[in-house]
Amino acid sequence: MKILILSNKIPYPPKDGGSIATLNLLKSLSNLGNKIVLLTMNTEKHYFELEKLPLFFTKNIKTISVYVKASINKKDALKNLFFSKLPYSAERFLNENYKMDLIKILKKEKFDIIQLEGLPLALYISIIRKYSTSKISMRSHNIEDEIWERSSKMEKNIFKKFYLKILSKRIRNLEFKSLKKYDFLLPITKRDEKIFKKFEHKCKILVTPTGINSKELHPDFTKIKYPSIFHLGALDWLPNQEGLIWFFDKIWKNLIKKNPNLKFYLAGRNAPDFIRKKFKNIKNLIFLGEIKVAKDFINSHAIMIVPLFSGSGMRIKIIEGMALGKTIITTSIGTEGINSTHKKNILIANSPKKFEKEIQKVLDDKLLFQEIGKNAIVFVKKNFDNENIAKKLMQFYKENL
């Protein structure tokens, strides 16, 4: 099968959930013998030189890159607020050069499927329909409006709250208007599928979660710093910022009173100045910034915390942590779409008191720590194997073309 994949960022290196989701599926689809063409934006934030892509790309995937600035600009955001009906989070990825390269590809080649990796690519559907008869598939990484709606509820600044509400409403309009334009919809979770099914559309749906390659993720229990707590995630992502601030404000001081030698290892890229300043003098916090090999970092630490109260979709870092045998403590929102089981393969807590209590349990009971971690490995191998996910998707496409 010949598949054109459109992405608004190069899915390499795989440093965030979106990149990991796109890259893992790219690999699996290619490994199944499909011919893959990737037309990707190469943005300022995620810029990567094509010449440095690994051999897998150069041998198996035809990659076409278009430079797109797409950085957040206050003047452009204000202009969008007053003179556009589109959400700024999508409109900033509208680019003439990308459009022209898309037209060139569609004129030159025919595809069985054109797969869009995320909502901003929906803005190019009119171009696809004009120059191609291919089926259009949207891989929805999350319910986009939900991220901003939840963030607006957390926001205390009245002007930011107002803006986030408008942004959420515009994204919702774009999400559900676009639903009628797809042939196929690939939500990442069953929860997202249920939400999409509430709205009028004719597209055929297959839940296609972000998977992991168990051959690449090997648990290593020999180097764990136990007890220790860690967090790994993009520090320029608002839900991560909110969750970490909540944790350090409401939980951490009590924990280290009871456990004075306990260390918190924080790793993540693009930490803004206000986060660095806020976390600078926190006792027993070791801030590592961006790390080179995520799996080595995860393997070497014990308890993974993911305190999330906004965001949407599926948290791939939780899946990776489970695959590496970590005991993970998160919120109900953090585990949305994963269908994990509290006290069996993960621990879930939504209040400071309960979150602290769950951490303390694992600190006091190493056997519990080991049991939850081992159960997590079994759970992920059964439900999130990349190869099986890709095979189901190919069967779905073939049956519906």
Q: Distance between CA atoms of 293 and 272, rounded to whole angstroms?
A: 21
Q: Residue 200 has what pLDDT?
A: 83
**Summary mean pLDDT of the chain:** 92
- Kindly state whether residues 116 and 255 are assigned to the same domain: no
Residues 319 and 184 in one domain: no
Query: What is the extent of the structural domain holding 82?
Result: 2-211+385-400
Q: Are 234 and 270 in contact (CB under 8 A)?
A: yes
CATH number, residue 69: 3.40.50.2000
Q: For the chain, what percent of residues have pLDDT higher than 90?
A: 74
Same domain for 362 and 240, yes or no, is: yes
Q: 248 lies in a domain?
A: yes
219: in domain = no
Residue 220 inside a domain? The answer is: no
Distance of alpha carbon 3 from alpha carbon 397, whole angstroms: 11
* CA torsion, ordered 388, 392, 394, 398, to nearest 10 deg: 150
Q: Is the pLDDT of residue 315 over 90?
A: no
Average pLDDT of 376-401? 94
Round to whole Å and give the CA distance between 62 and 109.
12
Looking at the fold, whether 190 and 253 belong to one and the same domain comes out as no
Contact, 311 vs 333, CB < 8 A? yes
Are residues 157 and 186 part of one domain? yes
CB 280: neighbour CB atoms within 10 A? 9
pLDDT of residue 199: 86
Does a structural domain hold residue 323?
yes
pLDDT band at 58 (very low <50, low <70, confident <90, very high): confident
Tokens of 153: 């509820």
Considering the domain boundaries, does residue 333 fall inside one?
yes
Distance CA 311, CA 240 (A): 9
Instruction: Please state, for a pLDDT cut of 70, what percent of the chain lies above it.
Output: 100
Q: How far is it, in rounded angstroms, from Cα 140 to Cα 193? A: 10
Of 309, 358, 362, whose CA–CA distance to 332 is shortest?
309
Q: Give all strands of the β-sheet with 135-140 in edge-to-edge order.
A: 61-68, 35-43, 2-7, 113-117, 135-140, 184-187, 204-205
Does 218 map to a domain? no
- Under the banding of pLDDT at 50, 70 and 90, the label for residue 311 is low
**Is 371 within the bounds of a domain?**
yes
pLDDT value of residue 172? 92
Neighbours of 325 (CB within 10 A): 24
Model confidence, pTM:
0.84
pLDDT bucket at 112, cuts 50 / 70 / 90: very high
> 192 and 232 share a domain?
no
Q: Is residue 187 part of a domain?
A: yes
Residues 173 and 297 in one domain: no
Structural domains counted in the chain = 2
pLDDT exceeds 70 at position 224: yes
Q: Which residue has the tokens 């404000």?
A: 249
Q: What is the model's pLDDT at position 217?
A: 84
